Amino acid sequence: MPTTINTQAKEQSKSNGQAKRNGEPTSELMELFEEQLKDILWAEKALIKAIPKMISLATSEELILSLTDHLKETREQVTRLARVFKSIDKKPSTKKCDAMEGLIEEATEMMKDCEKGPKCDAGIIAAAQKIEHYEIATYGTLRQFAETLGLREAEKLLKEILKEEKEADQKLTEVAVEEVNPEAASEEK
Ligand SMILES: [Fe+2]
Q: What does the pLDDT read at residue 189?
A: 77
Contact 44, 132 (CB under 8 A): no
92: which DSSP letter?
Answer: -
Cα(14) to centroid(ligand 1), Å: 33
What residues flank ion ligand 1 with Cβ within 5 A?
74, 77, 135
Which domains does the chain possess?
Answer: 25-186 (1.20.1260.10)
Cα(77) to centroid(ligand 1), Å: 6
Q: Cα(76)–Cα(109) distance, rounded to whole angstroms?
A: 27
Contact 69, 165 (CB under 8 A): no
pLDDT digits (tens, 9 = 90+) for 15-72: 444 444 455 547 999 999 999 999 999 999 999 999 999 999 999 999 999 999 999 9
For the entire predicted model, the pTM comes to: 0.85
Element (H, E) at 163: helix 152-175
Cα(153) to centroid(ligand 1), Å: 18
Determine what percent of the chain is predicted with pLDDT higher than 70.
87
Cα(54) to centroid(ligand 1), Å: 15
